[in-house]
Amino acid sequence: MVARRQRAPTALRLLDCEILVEPGLLGSIGAVAERVAPAHRYVIVTDDTVAGHYGTRVVDSFTGAQPLMLRIPPGESHKTRLTWASLTDEMLDAGCGRDTTVIALGGGVVGDLAGFVAATFMRGIPFVQVPTTLLAMIDASIGGKTGVDAPAGKNLVGAFHQPSAVVADPHALATLPLEHRRAGAAEAIKHGVITDAAYFDRVAAALPALLHDPAGDAMHELIIGSVTIKAGIVLGDERERGMRKILNFGHTLGHAIETASDYRLLHGEAIAIGMVLEASLAEMIGVATAGIAERVRDVVARTGLPVAPPPTLSPERLLALTRTDKKARAGSAEYALPLTIGTMAGADTQWSVRVRDDDVLAVLRAASR
Ligand SMILES: NC(=O)c1ccc[n+]([C@@H]2O[C@H](COP(=O)([O-])OP(=O)(O)OC[C@H]3O[C@@H](n4cnc5c(N)ncnc54)[C@H](O)[C@@H]3O)[C@@H](O)[C@H]2O)c1
Ligand SMILES: [Zn+2]
């Protein structure tokens, strides 16, 4: 990532969804929404923290009737069916009908939840993603996966529902705490591992400095790079029947760790640990070439992200939690595993690899030593 260069293109398209990345866009959300998803009513779903920073600016960007703003408390623990029920009730009480567009203003929690509200309200209404975290800009807002968590595990109730647009304003990252910028970087590292060794190297070289300059060129380039990779994968396999599964690298064990920590670990932190463990697993069972786990571990550590699960989470409990993950089939978990940095295993097995419990336990036990 170079300090001075030509700006990368900022408008991309994924199916019918327009993806815009540009500093200052938060002041134009109304105009974009009125163009891509014209509606009688607009409902902004956001959390208390994001509302405090950007709520007024986004409300003021609408030229017609005042949009309705619905706020939830921040945090993964609110990405639930209960919150979904109260949001949909509030919309019904306010008289919203099918001619309503939802604006999801916030991180991945708000995006997944508000997207699921839009997917299900009156059997589906349009929505616009306005991601305000790095993780949501480069990953969660792209691709149309929406949903909520259940006590049994993450994202177990949900729907595919493509947004009409994704509108990302990198300036919003200036107020995002460093720990959340780091957590977002985990997904950028993932994008490099699963598709592009050169991108992996560029991200590795730019970290950790780029995390301290959220409005800089390197950050803009990272957002565009990751959005392009994610959109390309989704375009080839919207419903995750094959290739899209490679995006789950780090997520089988990562989701188990995130759930077992009672969401004290951020999604990106848990995924960082999951990537280190799953890269080790791939090496241990002879899928990946030697040295990959070390390279993944090195870049994760240099980002300031954790590389091992907290010692309080037992390997047996984590293994059990992989079975409630959506990627578990017929009692055994499937993994998306790297062959090398930039290529994934399983081209002839729907991009997933079945792994024996003993091997998973061996990797978890080695990490907790
Ligand atoms: N749908 C998908 O394809 C997909 C992909 C990856 C992750 N996810 C989901 O995304 C979620 C994680 O998203 P996240 O990391 O964005 O977490 P998050 O939504 O909880 O946001 C993190 C924190 O940052 C605050 N915040 C957001 N924007 C801010 C800003 N600009 N300034 C200051 N504070 C701000 C929020 O209030 C919150 O406290 C998980 O639930 C995960 O499952 C979904
Ligand atoms: Zn993720």
308 and 212, same structural domain?
Answer: yes
Q: What is the pLDDT of residues 184-197, one digit of tens each?
A: 999 999 999 999 99
Question: Helices in the chain by DSSP H: which ranges?
Answer: 29-36, 48-50, 56-60, 81-93, 108-120, 134-135, 178-195, 197-206, 217-236, 251-260, 267-284, 292-302, 315-322, 357-367
Q: What is the pLDDT of residues 114-145, one digit of tens each?
A: 999 999 999 999 999 999 999 999 999 999 99
Which DSSP state fits 9? P
Q: What are phi and psi of 95, to 5 degrees?
A: 80, 20
CATH number of the domain bearing residue 161: 3.40.50.1970
pTM assigned to the model: 0.95
204 and 144, same structural domain?
Answer: no
78 and 136, same structural domain?
Answer: yes
Residue 289 belongs to domain spanning: 178-367
d(CA 127, CA 139): 17
Catalytic residue at 161? no
Structure tokens at 6: 């030509």
**Which of 138, 153, 175 is at the close of a domain?**
175
User: Is residue 65 pLDDT above 90, yes or no?
Assistant: no
Least distant ligand from the CA of 251: 2
Catalytic residue at 297? no
Q: What is the pLDDT of residues 278-310, one digit of tens each?
A: 999 999 999 999 999 999 999 999 999 999 999
CATH number of the domain bearing residue 261: 1.20.1090.10
Name every protein residue with a CB atom under 6 angstroms from any ligand 1 atom: 47, 49-50, 53, 74-76, 79, 106-110, 112, 132-133, 135-136, 139-140, 143, 145, 154-155, 172, 175-176, 180, 183, 266-268
Distance 93 CA to ligand 2 centre (A): 34
